[in-house]
């Protein structure tokens, strides 16, 4: 077979060159050249065949909904949107060592147990390494391993074996022999991923592809692939915490607001179905600067502890440090506390943190954050059993956020009866919820009025 020609193409302007160039002579961009392959014998791009093609009426298209393959790991199935859709391609991104291979081997074991044959393409680890991990997590039969990095061989094996699900770990180790670039380069990752996607779509193969990302997300991998796959999941969490969160960044077959919560244990990833209890377990009661927030992760309420420490500053520009909360939210809450609630923290260092390595991105964190800060400043603990949520506006008003009922219910389930919630403007509130319409009112309610 004739070897394909390859070209290097500038990703900014499309300029083609026979070899890699550091700077594009056409548009002047640096480092923008990516290798591309053109099949041998084809000159120029585009098709010369001008015959009209058959079109399909939208109403005549048969949908394949309902053909879902459940992995048997409920937290994983939830993020996928109720299992894997047949013939779809799922990309799982995450930093090295976060637990991608562990999760997928566990899923492979479960799928194998339920009679879905799985082909696990292990380009990163030897068969022995995969086996010893499988022994740890208890994955057993029904999983076939393929230690291969050549994408052509992977395609051929998939077509010969016809497994129910193919797992490729990882896309950075695969290479297309038609291209010169090293495995893991942008050109190789794109080309191999495109071939895998084509394989999945033309032969109805269900594919899960692993891709590594580093903290800044710049390394070739998931970011350049997001648009070619059906579903993109990111594995988050840091090595210092046991919690691992799988979050959907894109899902053609489900919601992107769902998350799956796992805990890394000595025997693989354990599902955390009721995370609130775990997150609040170590909470010290009766300590100033701690507030419990009811946040939403997808459709599920989750209770987390927001901590604040306010301490006199000896610096010309006092410190403001935040972990798990957006730092601009903190600055805004500090300004509102000073101007609208009379709590001035300009000469104090301020540290805030959400416990357990959780990140809270929703505006509803404003109220618990403000209460934790006020509590730390006044050195008065919030009352036992107090939980809060609500967005704080620049005028010091507390604004409603969605899912009030679910949040209050979760708090009651965990034994927190005193819920400080935004005034629902005439709508009914669940039992035990205390409506507040301004930040001062909320602080007066939980910290007492004299400051």
Site for ligand TYD in 17-76 (CB under 6 A): none
Least distance CB 100 / Mg ion (angstroms) = 5
108 binds ligand TYD (CB under 6 A): no
Of 100 and 418, the one with the shorter C-beta distance to ligand TYD is 100
Is 109 near ligand TYD (CB under 6 A)? no
254 binds, among ligand TYD, Mg ion, none (CB under 5 to 8 A by kind): none
**Burial class of residue 2, CB neighbours in 10 A (0-12, 13-18, 19+):** exposed
Radius of gyration of the chain (CA): 27
Residue 266 interacts with ligand TYD (CB under 6 A)?
yes
Residue 267 vs 311, nearer CB to ligand TYD: 267
Give least dist CB 99 to ligand TYD, A.
4
Report the distance separating Cα 257 and Cα 254, nearest Å. Answer: 9
Neighbours of 281 (CB within 10 A): 8
Nearer to ligand TYD (CB atom), residue 186 or residue 264: 264
Residue with the two structure tokens 């507390």 = 398
Whether the CB-CB separation of 189 and 225 falls below 8 Å is answered with: yes
Please report whether residue 264 would count as binding ligand TYD according to CB under 6 A: yes
CB of 145: closest distance to Mg ion in angstroms?
14
Distance in angstroms (rounded) separating the CA atoms of residues 326 and 355: 14
Q: Does 96 bind ligand TYD (CB under 6 A)?
A: yes
Q: Quick check: 202 and 29 in contact, CB under 8 A?
A: no
Q: Which does 277 bind (CB under 5 to 8 A by kind): ligand TYD, Mg ion, none?
A: none
**Between residues 78 and 100, which has the closer beta carbon with respect to ligand TYD?**
100
Residue 444: partners with Cβ closer than 8 Å, 6 or more residues away: none
Name which of ligand TYD, Mg ion, none residue 276 binds, using a CB cut-off of 5 to 8 Å depending on partner kind.
none
CB of 120 to Mg ion, least distance (A): 11
Choose between 44 and 266: whose C-beta lies nearer to ligand TYD.
Answer: 266
The entry of Mg ion, ligand TYD, none near residue 264 (CB within 5 to 8 angstroms by kind) is ligand TYD
Task: Record the tokens describing residue 365, joined without a space.
Answer: 């964190």
Q: How far apart are CA 23 and CA 19, in angstroms?
A: 12
The torsion angle over the Cα atoms of residues 299, 301, 302 and 308, rounded to 10 degrees, is 110
Could you say whether residue 110 binds ligand TYD (CB under 6 A)? no
Residue 100 touching ligand TYD (CB under 6 A): yes
- The backbone torsions φ and ψ at residue 447, rounded to the nearest 5 degrees and listed phi first, read -105, 0
Strand order in the sheet with 5-10: 16-17, 5-10, 33-38
The DSSP bridge partners found for residue 297 are 300
**Beta carbon nearer to ligand TYD, 122 or 304:** 122
Residue 390 binds which entry of Mg ion, ligand TYD, none, CB below 5-8 Å type-dependent: none
Query: Residue with structure tokens 């002047």?
Result: 28
165: left (phi over 0), alpha (psi -120 to 50) or beta: beta
Is the separation of the CB atoms in 283 and 292 below 8 Å? yes
172 is a site residue for ligand TYD (CB under 6 A):
no
Contact with ligand TYD (CB under 6 A): which of 14, 16, 31, 97? 97
Place of tokens 């997150």: 279
Identify whether the C-beta of residue 324 lies closer than 8 Å to the C-beta of residue 375. no
For 421, the enclosing helix (H) or strand (E) is: strand 418-422
Minimum CB distance to ligand TYD smaller for 149 or for 434: 149
Determine contact, residues 10/24, Cβ cutoff 8 Å.
yes
Tokens at 237, concatenated: 């969490």
Residue from the set 81, 99, 211, 260 that interacts with ligand TYD by CB under 6 A: 99
Residue least distant from Mg ion (Cβ): 101
Contact code string over 119-158 relative to ligand TYD, x by CB under 6 A: --------------x--xx---------------------
Beta bridge partners of residue 85, listed in sequence order: 68
CB of 125 to Mg ion, least distance (A): 7
The smaller minimum CB distance to ligand TYD, of residues 173 and 322, is found at: 173
Does the protein bind ligand TYD through residue 195 (CB under 6 A)? Answer: no
Nearer to Mg ion, 217 or 402 (CB): 217
Number of residues this chain uses to bind ligand TYD (CB under 6 A): 15
Alpha helix stretches (DSSP H) within 308-420: 327-341, 366-378, 404-413
Q: Interface residues with ligand TYD (CB under 6 A)?
A: 94, 96-102, 133, 136-137, 264, 266-268
């Amino acid at each position: 077979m004739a070897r394909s020609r390859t070209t290097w193409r500038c990703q900014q302007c499309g300029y083609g060159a026979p070899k890699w160039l550091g700077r594009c002579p056409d548009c002047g961009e640096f480092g923008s050249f990516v290798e591309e392959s053109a099949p041998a014998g084809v000159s120029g791009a585009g098709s010369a065949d001008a015959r009209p093609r058959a079109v399909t009426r939208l109403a005549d298209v048969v949908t394949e909904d309902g053909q879902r393959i459940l992995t048997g790991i409920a937290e994983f199935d939830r993020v996928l949107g109720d299992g894997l859709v047949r013939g779809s391609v799922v990309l799982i991104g995450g930093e090295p060592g976060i637990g991608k291979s562990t999760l997928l081997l566990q899923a492979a074991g479960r799928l194998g147990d339920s009679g879905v044959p799985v082909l696990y393409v292990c380009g990163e680890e030897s068969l022995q390494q995969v086996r010893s991990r499988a022994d740890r997590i208890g994955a057993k039969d029904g999983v076939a391993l393929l230690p291969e990095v050549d994408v052509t061989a992977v395609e051929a094996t998939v077509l010969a074996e016809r497994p129910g699900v193919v797992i490729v770990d990882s896309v950075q180790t695969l290479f297309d022999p038609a291209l010169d670039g090293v495995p893991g380069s942008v050109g190789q990752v794109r080309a191999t991923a495109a071939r895998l996607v084509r394989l999945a779509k033309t032969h109805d193969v269900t594919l899960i592809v692993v891709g590594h990302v580093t903290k800044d997300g710049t390394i070739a991998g998931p970011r350049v692939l997001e648009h070619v796959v059906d579903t993109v999941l990111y594995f988050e969490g840091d090595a210092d915490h046991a919690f691992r969160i799988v979050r959907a960044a894109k899902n053609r077959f489900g919601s992107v607001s769902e998350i799956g919560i796992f805990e890394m244990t000595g025997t693989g990833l354990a599902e955390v179905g009721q995370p609130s209890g775990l997150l609040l377990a170590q909470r010290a009661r009766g300590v100033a600067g701690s507030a419990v927030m009811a946040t939403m992760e997808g459709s599920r309420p989750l209770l987390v502890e927001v901590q604040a420490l306010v301490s006199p500053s000896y610096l010309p520009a006092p410190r403001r440090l935040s972990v798990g909360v957006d730092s601009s939210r903190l600055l805004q809450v500090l300004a509102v506390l000073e101007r609208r609630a009379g709590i001035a923290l300009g000469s104090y260092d301020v540290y805030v943190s959400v416990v357990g390595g959780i990140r809270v991105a929703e505006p509803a964190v404003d109220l618990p954050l403000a209460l934790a800060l006020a509590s730390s400043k006044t050195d008065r603990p919030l009352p036992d059993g107090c939980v809060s949520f609500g967005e704080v506006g620049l005028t010091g008003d507390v604004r409603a956020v969605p899912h009030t009922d679910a949040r209050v219910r979760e708090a009651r389930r965990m034994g927190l009866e005193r819920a400080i919630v935004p005034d629902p403007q005439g709508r009914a509130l669940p039992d035990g919820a205390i409506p507040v319409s301004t930040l001062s009112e909320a602080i007066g309610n939980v910290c007492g009025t004299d400051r």
